[in-house]
Structure 1
Amino acid sequence: MLPTSDESPRTLVVIPAWNEQETVAATIAELFRSQPHVDVLVVDDGSGDATARVAHQAGAKVCQLPYNLGVGGAMRAGYRYALRHDYDVVAQLDADGQHDPEYLPQLIAGLADADVVVGARFAGVGAYKVGLFRGLAMRLLATTLSRLAGTRLTDVTSGFRVVDRRALAVFAAHYPAEYLGDTVESLVIALRSGCRVVQVPVAMRSRAGGRPSQTSLKAIVYLARAVVALGLALVRRWPATMETQPKEIA
């Protein structure tokens, strides 16, 4: 939940980026134009290109990881930074331009009665399309997590989301780095930690640059891995009330 104060919550936007030199500057510039009062941290996830330099020149704070950890590892670093620097709200935004920062105020407003708010592509806004097998995986994941959350969730693999201080403390300590853990398992952890998860409809765009990885074979592999990831997330033992402060903040 948001702090009860007349002041705007201190908000950090974390942008995980791996080899995104083509798009990260434009993403940062659009974000600052749309939401000039937020702070921006780009977590350079072991890029082999000029992502870190371009992000710094665009005005963002930059955290460079020594090697590629994946989105989950990059976001855990971002959450730990936010916890150390006492932010009220943390938002995740993709570096490739798919997430429209104009929706951030709506997502943050959703924290009035929730701890995690997901920007949902399949909730009546926009016309985002996915392939057959990827769509099947997404519907399976969404149906299962909706039951766990006690509310309708249509896009649990969305990386466009915001969290409050309660979820921030949980994620700084326990955010998973495994494949799909940054989306699916993170929501399971939040829910089993007593956090409330809701969604806000958003429209998403195509990548502004780089190469999407959409092939039929990869979509089938995605479906299989999604089922495995969900199963692991549900069987892992997460205490109902977890320790929410990491022992050491990196």
Structure 2
Amino acid sequence: MRTITIIPAYNEEKTIEEVVKRAKKYTDVLVVDDGSTDETSSLAKNVGAEIMNHQQNLGKGAAMKTGLKYAIEEDYDLMVFLDGDGQHDPHCIPLLLEGLYDTDMIIGSRFLKANPQNIPLHRKLSNEITTRLIRYVTGYHITDSQCGFRAISKKAAGIFVTIPYNDYVYESEVLCKASQKSLTLDEKPIKCIYGNEKSYVRFRHVIHFIMFTLRLLLRKFLRRIPT
């Protein structure tokens, strides 16, 4: 089966080479450069990644959809998403892919067996709140709804390219869409390393996510009203 790792990246020149080299031990690699102003693309290309470039920064969700469209067009069977900042350990790629033999989607979980070291408190709390909400809306018994380390089958890929969100909300909506389409989902424990990585989450992203969660709750409420 043909497999590919899709890495959405924005200004990741400090880490992208090592991430690509480690991921290429297991799969083909595509880096979707989301409008970087540094050397992300050239460094990734130099170590063997295929490159797709956005002319401007469109958002992580947009980069993920660009990667999915490429994988579908190139007829890949299994697809892995991996962040380019070095937090995720590419050596976990085989574990996620192995899980796809009997399910449609695998989420890497930072919390399934133990809490990751040095995770910022605000990120832990926000993830816990969001994960509880996603569990309530989707019915999936997951522990880490916000992890960007994921694997999906070709069957699921076509469903996710039509999601309208382009920012970080996209990853949450993927789980909601999967539930609506009755896709099967499982989690695998992964390692995650936190250091001095930068965050591109801005105030507008927070507002957008709050609006998204309110729509989720409204969607759930309306489904419970008999027609």
Q: TM over 0.5, yes or no?
A: yes
Instruction: Read off the aligned partner of 2:185 and give its amino acid letter.
Output: V
User: For the Cα contact (< 8 Å) 1:157–1:184, is it kept in 2?
Assistant: yes
Report the 3-state secondary structure (helix = DSSP H, G, I; strand = E; otherwise coil) of the residue aligned with 1:147. helix
Question: How far does the alpha carbon of each residue in 1:23-43 deviate from its partner, in whole angstroms, 9 at most, with x for none?
Answer: 11111112224x2xx110000
Which structure 2 residues correspond to residues 1-250 of structure 1 after superposition, within 5 A? 9-33=1-25, 35=26, 38-125=27-114, 127-174=116-163, 176-178=165-167, 180-207=168-195, 211-213=197-199, 226-233=209-216, 235=218
- Name the CA distance, whole Å, in 2 between partners of 1:129 and 1:230: 27
**Range with bigger deviation, 128-137 or 61-70:** 128-137
Displacement after TM superposition at 1:222 (Å) = 7.8
Percent of paired sites with the same residue: 31
Going from structure 1 to structure 2, the CA distance change for 1:220 and 1:77 (only over 3 Å counts) comes to closer
Displacement after TM superposition at 1:223 (Å) = 7.1
- Name the CA distance, whole Å, in 2 between partners of 1:181 and 1:190: 14
- Name the CA distance, whole Å, in 1 between partners of 2:174 and 2:69: 15
Report the 3-state secondary structure (helix = DSSP H, G, I; strand = E; otherwise coil) of the residue aligned with 1:67. coil
- Name the CA distance, whole Å, in 2 between partners of 1:169 and 1:135: 31
Q: How many residues align?
A: 220
Going from structure 1 to structure 2, the CA distance change for 1:205 and 1:132 (only over 3 Å counts) comes to closer
Gaps of 5+ in 2: 221-227
State the TM-score, normalized to the length of structure 1: 0.78
User: For the Cα contact (< 8 Å) 2:17–2:47, is it kept in 1?
Assistant: yes
- Name the CA distance, whole Å, in 1 between partners of 2:76 and 2:130: 30
Instruction: Read off the aligned partner of 1:161 and give its amino acid letter.
Output: R
Displacement after TM superposition at 1:133 (Å) = 3.7
Displacement after TM superposition at 1:175 (Å) = 5.9
Question: How far does the alpha carbon of each residue in 1:149-197 deviate from its partner, in whole angstroms, 9 at most, with x for none?
Answer: 434211100000000011111112326313x322211211121122122
Q: Give the alignment's Cα RMSD to 1 decimal.
A: 2.6
- Name the CA distance, whole Å, in 2 between partners of 1:147 and 1:233: 10
Gaps of 5+ in 1: 1-8, 238-250
Report the 3-state secondary structure (helix = DSSP H, G, I; strand = E; otherwise coil) of the residue aligned with 1:112. coil
1:246 is aligned to none
Displacement after TM superposition at 1:134 (Å) = 3.1
User: For the Cα contact (< 8 Å) 2:118–2:194, is it kept in 1?
Assistant: no
Displacement after TM superposition at 1:136 (Å) = 2.7
- Name the CA distance, whole Å, in 2 between partners of 1:39 and 1:154: 29
Going from structure 1 to structure 2, the CA distance change for 1:184 and 1:139 (only over 3 Å counts) comes to same
**Range with bigger deviation, 92-101 or 133-142:** 133-142
User: For the Cα contact (< 8 Å) 1:116–1:161, is it kept in 2?
Assistant: yes
- Name the CA distance, whole Å, in 2 between partners of 1:236 and 1:41: 35
- Name the CA distance, whole Å, in 1 between partners of 2:39 and 2:218: 40
User: For the Cα contact (< 8 Å) 2:5–2:23, is it kept in 1?
Assistant: no
Question: How far does the alpha carbon of each residue in 1:61-98 deviate from its partner, in whole angstroms, 9 at most, with x for none?
Answer: 00011110111000000000011111111100111111
User: For the Cα contact (< 8 Å) 2:109–2:188, is it kept in 1?
Assistant: yes
